[in-house]
Amino acid sequence: MRLVIARCSVDYEGRLRAHLPLATRLLVVKADGSVLVHSDGGSYKPLNWMSPPAVLRAVEPDEDDREAGVESVWRVQNAKSDDRLIVRIHETIHDSTHELGVDPGLIKDGVEADLQRLLAEQIDTLGAGFSLVRREYMTAIGPVDILARDAEGRTVAIELKRRGDIDGVEQLTRYLELMNRDPLLAPVRGIFAAQKIKPQARTLATDRGIECVTLDYDQMRGVDDSASRLF
């Protein structure tokens, strides 16, 4: 990994075109040829970048660039597409290279899969007398997150999201439409469950006869003590 602090301007051409005027920035060159251009603020997204695999070639500036004060030009070309990044370096303030080795990678807990496991275990939080049929119930158009049965024995299709957006409602609607054509399952109740449900999504769901439930992941994790043994 190479770290460079430099006064530079940057141009990207590919899926769109983008330009960064001259300023001092951090340039990170990774082992796979990818390049990140970071400013001293904002969040983790670089101002501009090149995705791997890519090849960096440092070339001599042409006459115009040299007159404008350009010291060196990086041409970063993606190996699989036409995307390219051009960095014009006017002044190098820092330049160092380091061996990092391969990273063992990230271990996560609390993503949708964990929510799904917890909700399946605590299915009666959705209503007294609820019982689990199965998780990831396959249909012709994709898997329903959780299939359950309510106290009256009616089939319940549950769509689970961390953030309840409008497209989650659309997804559940498609499943319900399909499942209600199956005389063995119909009539099927729909429940849209999420940690937070957007007003638009709630309106659409209600309009289509889908119930909305907001989940408290911390509380659900508290009930299940296996989570505390993870780390």
Q: Rounded to the nearest whole angstrom, what is the least distance from the CB of residue 131 to its own copies in the complex?
A: 28
80 forms part of the interface with its own copies (CB under 8 A): no
Binding segment toward DNA, per CB under 7 A, in 40-48, 147-155, 181-189, 216-224: 40-48
38 binds its own copies (CB under 8 A): yes
Q: Which two tokens stand for residue 159?
A: 């769509």
Q: Under the criterion CB under 7 A, does residue 100 sit at the interface with DNA?
A: no
DSSP run (H or E) holding 144: strand 142-149
By beta-carbon proximity to DNA, the closer residue of 85 and 227 is 85
3-state secondary structure of 225: helix
For the record, the structure tokens of 60 come out as 């001599």
Q: Which of DNA, its own copies, none binds 184 (CB below 5-8 Å, type-dependent)?
A: none
- For residue 57, which of 41, 71, 36, 77 has the smallest C-alpha distance? 77
Interface with DNA: number of residues (CB under 7 A): 36
Interface with its own copies, residue 91, by CB under 8 A:
no
Helices 199-207, 166-179: axis angle to 10 degrees equals 20
Q: How far is the CB of 136 from its own copies (least distance, A)?
A: 18
Q: Which two tokens stand for residue 61?
A: 């500036």
Helix/strand/coil for 230: coil
Does position 97 bind DNA by CB under 7 A? no
Q: Tell me whether residue 7 or residue 84 sits nearer to DNA (CB atom).
A: 84
What Å distances lie between residue 185 and 14, 50, 124, 147, 209, CA to CA?
Answer: 49, 50, 20, 11, 17
Cα–Cα distance measured from residue 129 to residue 57, given in angstroms and rounded to the nearest whole number: 66
Question: In angstroms, what is the minimal distance from the CB of 162 to its own copies?
Answer: 8
Enumerate binding residues for DNA (CB under 7 A).
12, 14-16, 18, 42-45, 48-51, 78, 83, 85, 105-106, 108, 111-112, 138, 141-142, 145, 160-163, 166, 168, 171, 198-201
